[in-house]
Amino acid sequence: MLATWPCPAPAGGASEEYALAFRQGRKHCLLVIPALFDEANRLRRLTVEVMRRLDAAGIDCVLPDLPGTNESLQSLSAMTLDDWTGAVLASGIYFKASHVLAIRGGCLLAPPELPGWHYAPVKGANLLRQMIRMRILSAREAGRDETQDGLMAQGAASGLELAGYSLNSQMLADLRAAVPPDEGHRVILQDTIGGSPLWLRAEPDEDRAQADALAAVVAMALTA
């Protein structure tokens, strides 16, 4: 279930990172790229439930930890979006991935070389706006007045902590500019999956019907 892979470290060399892996050397191996930041928590259950269904359908799948998150020993505040893109690519090569399933902000990290699916892709700027708004609202509850412009200026100078994630100025600039690629893969919209989007929920939730539907899109294409 747990595998490790060598991840290129920003300072050079490699760090060892974990991945959740269902691997039996079968015909297809799906690289699953998780949603980012707070959305990663809300979608973790759905992501793993989809992988369990694909495993049962005879498809290998691997979900790498992004360096600086989950069990990683790397520091998140040292990471840029390019570091994550490189990490995802390295994990795909190491696990010999044949296809990719990228989720929400994970679509920003998808290797263009791999065919596959992008589930509900989102612009980096939208993720950033949402996290900045969460910070402004919680600051207001604590009696502090913060503004979008003020926070962006502070972020550009010295980085920001957003939704509990410490992001450096380069990561913030990368996110602001990042848009999901518009070709080389199929986009899965929420309308196809049905139900209400789990990344919107303030509390993590699960939905078996959504996991069934998302897994079915991938399984039907790969086992046809």
Q: Which residues bind other proteins (CB under 8 A)?
A: 126, 129-130, 133-134, 136-138, 141, 147-148, 196-197, 200-203, 205
The least distance separating other proteins from the CB of residue 45, rounded to whole angstroms, comes to: 14
User: Which residue, 23 or 129, is less far from other proteins as judged by CB?
Assistant: 129
User: Which residue, 61 or 120, is less far from other proteins as judged by CB?
Assistant: 120
- C-alpha 72, offset from chain centre: 15
The least distance separating other proteins from the CB of residue 151, rounded to whole angstroms, comes to: 10
User: Which residue, 16 or 161, is less far from other proteins as judged by CB?
Assistant: 161
Q: What is the DSSP letter of 5?
A: E
The least distance separating other proteins from the CB of residue 101, rounded to whole angstroms, comes to: 22
User: Which residue, 192 or 196, is less far from other proteins as judged by CB?
Assistant: 196
Distance in angstroms (rounded) separating the CA atoms of residues 218 and 200: 23
Contact, 92 vs 59, CB < 8 A?
no
The least distance separating other proteins from the CB of residue 59, rounded to whole angstroms, comes to: 30
Distance in angstroms (rounded) separating the CA atoms of residues 46 and 205: 8
- Structure tokens of 123? 């612009």
- Structure tokens of 38? 């707070």
Which residues, in sequence order, are CB contacts of 144 under 8 Å at separation 6+?
none
